[in-house]
Amino acid sequence: MDALRVGLIGLGTVGTGVARVLVDHADRMTLRSGRDIRLTRVAVRDTSRPRTIDLPASTLTTDSLAVATAPDVDVVVELIGGLRPAREIVLAALRAGKDVITANKALLCEHGDELFQAAREAKRCIAFEAAVAGGVPIIHTLSQAMTANQITGIEAILNGTSNFILTEMFQKQAAYEDAVALAQQLGFAEADPSMDVKGTDAAQKLGLLTLLAFGTRVTPEQFLVQGIDTIELADLEYADELGYAVKLVATAKLVSDKLELHTQPTLVRNDRPIAQTDGPFNIIGLTGDIVGKTWYSGQGAGGMPTASAVVSDLIDVAAGRARLNFEQLDLWGSRAPFPLQPVEEINRRYYLRMEVEDRAHVMAEITDALGRNEISLASIIQHETPEPEEVASTDPRPRFVPLVIMTHRTSEGRLRAASQALAQLGCIRTPWVCMPISD
Amino acid sequence: MDALRVGLIGLGTVGTGVARVLVDHADRMTLRSGRDIRLTRVAVRDTSRPRTIDLPASTLTTDSLAVATAPDVDVVVELIGGLRPAREIVLAALRAGKDVITANKALLCEHGDELFQAAREAKRCIAFEAAVAGGVPIIHTLSQAMTANQITGIEAILNGTSNFILTEMFQKQAAYEDAVALAQQLGFAEADPSMDVKGTDAAQKLGLLTLLAFGTRVTPEQFLVQGIDTIELADLEYADELGYAVKLVATAKLVSDKLELHTQPTLVRNDRPIAQTDGPFNIIGLTGDIVGKTWYSGQGAGGMPTASAVVSDLIDVAAGRARLNFEQLDLWGSRAPFPLQPVEEINRRYYLRMEVEDRAHVMAEITDALGRNEISLASIIQHETPEPEEVASTDPRPRFVPLVIMTHRTSEGRLRAASQALAQLGCIRTPWVCMPISD
């Protein structure tokens, strides 16, 4: 059979990894797919830049669109990220009759509809194993291995950068800012880490998994998304004292045929697989109505794990599997999507950490404000503080002490009403910390 | 497209689960595969037996071979287990032009070569996701999602029954026999549990994974296989004291281009995913040269998890993916298989628990016997025992006390030589316990 000719767009960490695998392991590619897989065109930003991989100068160009539509390219691998010009490049490639492989979750989350339709019309496919959770083959799993099931729940760590930062803070007793700086230094975080630490990246990945698992199209603006950028070391330590770890958890689950959806820093019991997943790793728990609970984990980012996913997609394209898979993916609105559960109705337990004024009756005021909103308390931590007369202070301002509360189950709506009531008390320093607790 | 017509052979726990999914979720099958999937023939041992699932009487027969070759059957699902008549049935089905789905690891491990060749010659496929680790889609993962990689290591719990028994012993302080009885009562173990507790079942599954990952054909007689039937509660407790759990671990890994292969009760550090996998669950760690370490876990046995795997194979057959996948599987000797590492050269740390005579110089004799075989000690546990004069005993026989030793790395060959030397000392009660320690 003819060789499969690859046009690679973007030669960053992942692109270099892909090129290296194709060049160094050409025999393996042929064995696994039944065809040679050959890198014929590579688009880069600057052809003169020194690189760690040696490619024939004739394959390099700065013209991405030319690679996307080149006659000696059968499949286009888009690894530049972002929405523009990635969208135009992918559309051009599909219209020129190329299959497309992409690691671009932002693009698929934002323009997936349009791109999937374009692929369908062109009778081509889009493969995107690398768009979610790097080395964890969750797209293969969801779209092929779990097809007997209606997925009923997804619970996952989908952002390796955030997880690295949280792990670093807890294990090294580091402040958030120091952990971010280290993550940047080690290449786990970008110069501007906001997509990672604000939860957007994880939420986009959750959106893609939600589309595959539930047929529901969502973008991060439509559900609860919080990042780890407001978490303090103290929260990790209180959580640990209570028997929990704090993780950025992306959740999608069916509750009475509605879809509960959120990506938030969450307390997870220490004996759960998610709590035990440290460093730049991802983990995904899938529950199916037939199979029960299953778990998948591996390195979530990094050049080589993500290259592994891209190359497995290339082998699927070469072997003819990718197009069959794409045709069977439930992306065409062929069933009624599950509606989103209104955010106020989401029902969970919560962790609250607040700095409260150290005077008589404060605890009564707080528990009363919670109680009036039908929120009952499961546990409280208030560590012993020195007696007021023992504190040698001439500061006339009120003294504040930390108070940690875990609530019983309540709704997000009640919690928000209680938060307004608490804010009006005046005995709590703002802002305070509020995190859900995973079941 | 025409419906895919299914002939089901065996209506036990898994077979009933498969039938139930096909009947209860017919719409889902059509949506996921693009075709109706219809159960047309079912072979059972006794058609008059009452069942938990209602099937038209006309579909039931006791003639397995007739189902395997029936004109209104496109794909045969073999769920009777064992070698005979399963082998004849599968061969007959393939020769009659049917695709085959099987959960029968013993059959594939023993006769895989013959059956895979027969399928190839008939231009049909054999799909066997359910043969290894029930609800964990490890065959899909190995044969599709990890194709960019040379797998360099597999480390797994592949037998849910053994894992349930070990968990029960440790958590409930139960004796081995009591834990086995409970496993039987709950349906996790058969009346004759020997395939499970002697390690054969896990070793057969490891054989299948080894064929897929390394191209090497092995049956359990060719490598180290031990079961959990010699483990005592005391071993689980000493291991815990040392910071380890005892698990039945199946291992295949490349060491200098040779394949180290064994299935044995093994000490695994408590912070590792394998140590944290309890009850009837399976977990598989796959290391790839590109992706690094990845983990997969879920329920390893039971009707519905295994039915999920069978039905995903059915959907693959219906959608045309199964045949493409089968063609690309590396089952045809298309590459040089990795040779097995000789058992004497396997290099690990070991845990030894022995009852030793409680007299002067015994420890010197034991450590000398180990030292002469170049085995050095990493740690020793000998708990304080009462002073001899405090023990009111008229028993003239020597008193024995437990001694636990963890060695530094050594070879299986040296360990065996040391064991012979220890046996000759006469101060150790036989048999003693020896388990490897996972890295």
A410 and A283 inside one domain: no
Q: Which domain holds residue A292?
A: 138-299
Alpha-helical (H) ranges within A296-397 are 303-319, 321-328, 362-372
Tell me if A334 is assigned to some domain.
Answer: no
Amino acid symbol at A381: I
Task: State mean pLDDT over A339-361.
Answer: 93
Percent of chain A with pLDDT over 90: 82
Please provide the average confidence, as pLDDT, over all residues in chain A.
Answer: 93
A144 contacts B294? CB cut-off 8 A: no
Burial class (CB in 10 A: 0-12, 13-18, 19+), A55: middle
Domain at A413, CATH number: 3.30.70.260
pLDDT tens digits, residue range A368-394? 999 999 999 999 998 877 776 666 666
Q: Are strands A99-102 and B224-225 parallel, antiparallel or unpaired?
A: unpaired
B37 touches A: beta carbon within 8 Å: no
CB of A274 within 8 Å of any CB in chain B? Answer: no
User: Which residue among A32, A298, A314 places its CB closest to the CB of B291?
Assistant: A298
| Pairwise CA distance, residues B363 & B359, whole Å | 9
Any CB–CB contact under 8 A between A155 and chain B? no
A284 phi/psi in degrees, rounded to 5: -130, 125
| Residues from chain B contacting residue A299 (CB–CB below 8 Å) | 291-294
8 Å CB contact between A283 and A297: yes
Question: To the nearest whole angstrom, how far is the Cα of A333 from the nearest Cα of chain B?
Answer: 11
Distance CA A123, CA A328 (A): 13
Q: Does any CB of chain A come closer than 8 Å to the CB of residue B200?
A: no
Residue A46 within a domain: yes
**Arithmetic mean of pLDDT, A254-259:** 95
CATH code of residue B220: 3.30.360.10
CA–CA distance, A35 with B372 (Å, rounded to integer):
56
Residue A191: the pLDDT is 81
Residues of chain A neighbouring B315 (CB-CB closer than 8 A): 147-148
A289 and A163 assigned to the same domain: yes
Residue A171 C-alpha, separation from nearest chain B C-alpha, in angstroms: 14
Judge if B316 and B240 occupy the same domain: no
> Which of A289, A294, A324 should we substitute to test contact with B (largest number of B Cβ atoms within 10 Å)?
A294
Contact state of B291 with A135 under an 8 Å Cβ cutoff: yes
pLDDT at B94: 98
Name the domain count of chain B: 3
- Residue A18 sits at the vertex; the CA angle it makes with A13 and A23, to the nearest 5 degrees, is 125
The answer to whether the CB atoms of A325 and B321 lie below 8 A apart is: yes
What does the pLDDT read at residue A388?
A: 65
Q: Quickly state the pLDDT bin for A332 (edges 50, 70, 90).
A: low
Among A139, A291, A316, most B C-beta atoms within 10 A, so best to mutate, is: A291
Stretch among A73-77, A210-214, A360-364 having the lowest mean pLDDT:
A360-364
Q: Are residues A255 and A351 in the same domain?
A: no
Is residue A80 scored above 70 in pLDDT?
yes
Structure tokens at A254: 């069916």
Report pLDDT for A379. Answer: 92
Search chain B and give the residue with CA nearest A144.
B312
Dihedral-angle region of residue B333 (phi above 0 means left; psi in -120 to 50 means alpha; beta otherwise)? left
pLDDT value at residue B388: 65
Residue A48 reports pLDDT greater than 90: no
- Determine contact, residues B228/B166, Cβ cutoff 8 Å: yes
A336 assigned to some structural domain? no
Q: Are residues B280 and B157 in the same domain?
A: yes
Which residues are within 8 A (CB) of A26 and not within 5 positions of it... i.e. 6 or more apart? A36, A37
ipTM: 0.94
pLDDT at B409: 97
Structural contact between residues A330 and B34, judged by C-beta atoms closer than 8 angstroms: no
Put simply, the answer to whether B308 touches A149 (Cβ < 8 Å) is yes
Q: Residue A333 has what pLDDT?
A: 63
Cβ under 8 Å to A: B residues 307-346: 307-312, 314-316, 319-321, 324-325, 327-328, 330, 334-335
Question: What distance in Å separates residue B27's CA from the closest CA in chain A?
Answer: 10
Residue B338 in domain: no
A285-A286-A287-A290 Cα dihedral, nearest 10 degrees:
-140
B50 lies in some domain? yes
Chain B residue numbers with beta carbons less than 8 Å from the beta carbon of A311 are 147-148, 290
| B296/A296 CB distance under 8 A | yes
A280 shares contact with chain B (CB less than 8 Å): no
- Return d(Cα A437, Cα A251) in angstroms, integer: 12
Residue B130 has a pLDDT of: 96
Which residue from B147, B305, B321 is facing A32, i.e. has the nearest CB? B147
Q: Taking CB atoms and an 8 Å limit, are A298 and B297 in contact across chains?
A: no
Residue of A31, A276, A292 lying closest to B330 (CB–CB): A31
CATH at residue B70: 3.40.50.720
Place of tokens 């689950």: A253
Q: Are residues A295 and A310 in the same domain?
A: no
Residue in B17, B288, B312 nearest the CB of A147: B312
What confidence category does residue A358 fall into, taking pLDDT thresholds of 50, 70 and 90?
confident
Query: Which residue does chain A place closest to B314, by CA atoms?
Result: A148
Instruction: Please tell me the distance in Å from A293's CA to the nearest CA on chain B.
Output: 6
Q: Tell which A residues from 47 to 76 touch B, by Cβ distance under 8 Å.
A: none
Tell me: do A258 and A271 sit in the same domain: yes
Let me know if residue B114 belongs to a domain: yes
pLDDT in tens, A229-238: 999 999 999 9
pLDDT averaged over consecutive 10-residue blocks of chain B (439 residues)? Answer: 95 94 95 94 92 90 97 97 95 98 95 94 96 94 94 97 96 96 88 92 96 92 95 96 97 96 98 94 97 95 91 96 88 78 96 91 91 93 76 72 95 95 90 94
> Containing H/E element for A51?
none
Residues of A whose CB is below 8 A from B141: 137, 140-141, 145
Closest alpha carbon to B296 in A105, A131, B165, B287: B287
pLDDT value of position B310: 97
**Same domain for A122 and A154:** no
Looking at residue B385, its pLDDT comes to 75
- Residues in CB range of B115: below 8 A, 6 or more apart: B87, B90, B91, B94, B100, B107, B108, B126
Residue of A35, A142, A308, A317 to mutate when probing chain B, most B C-beta within 10 A: A308
As given in the structure block, the two tokens for residue B21 are: 């999914």
Cα–Cα dist A410/A178, whole Å:
35
Mark yes or no for CB contact B144/A144 under 8 Å. Answer: yes
Q: Between chains, do A298 and B292 touch, taking CB under 8 Å as contact?
A: yes
Q: Decide if B292 and A312 are in contact by the 8 Å CB cutoff.
A: no
Nearest chain B residue to A134, by CA: B291
Whether residues B252 and B153 share a domain: the answer is yes
Distance CA B24, CA B33 (A): 16
Residue B160 lies in a domain: yes
| Residue from the list B140, B294, B299 with its beta carbon closest to the beta carbon of A298 | B294
Q: Distance between CA atoms of A222 and A260, rounded to whole angstroms?
A: 11
d(CA A216, CA A254): 12
Interface test with A, best of B147, B212, B270 (most A CBs within 10 A): B147
**Which chain A residues contact residue B33 at CB under 8 A?**
147, 328
Same domain for A111 and A149, yes or no, is no
Residue B439, pLDDT score: 87
Of B338, B382, B383, B310, residue with least CA distance to B132: B310
Identify whether residues B247 and B392 lie together within a single domain. no
- State how beta strands A244-255 and A151-157 pair: antiparallel
**pLDDT average, residue stretch A123-139:** 95
Shared domain check, A74 and A191: no
Catalytic, out of B98, B105, B198, B205: B205
Q: Is there a domain that residue A333 lies in?
A: no
> Which residues of A carry out catalysis?
205
Q: Would you say residue A413 has pLDDT above 90? A: yes
Nearest to B208 by CA among B127, B97, B272: B127
Instruction: Read off the tokens for A1.
Output: 């059979």
Residues A137-153 as b/e (b if ≥16 CB within 10 A, e otherwise) read bbbbbbbbbbbbbebbb
Domain boundary (A299, A320, A352) is at A299
- A residues 119-148 closer than 8 Å to B (CB): 129, 135-137, 140-141, 144-148
Q: Which of A179, A163, A408, A336 is nearest to A263 (CA)?
A: A163
Query: What is the C-alpha to C-alpha distance for residues A230 and A228, in angstroms, rounded to an integer?
Result: 6
Closest CA to A240 of A197, A284, A271: A271
What is the reported pLDDT for B383?
Answer: 84
Q: What pLDDT score does A434 carry? A: 95
Q: Which amino acid is at B365?
A: E
**Distance from the A405 Cα atom to the nearest Cα atom in chain B, whole angstroms:** 29
pTM over 0.90: yes
- Are the beta carbons of B140 and A141 separated by less than 8 Å? yes
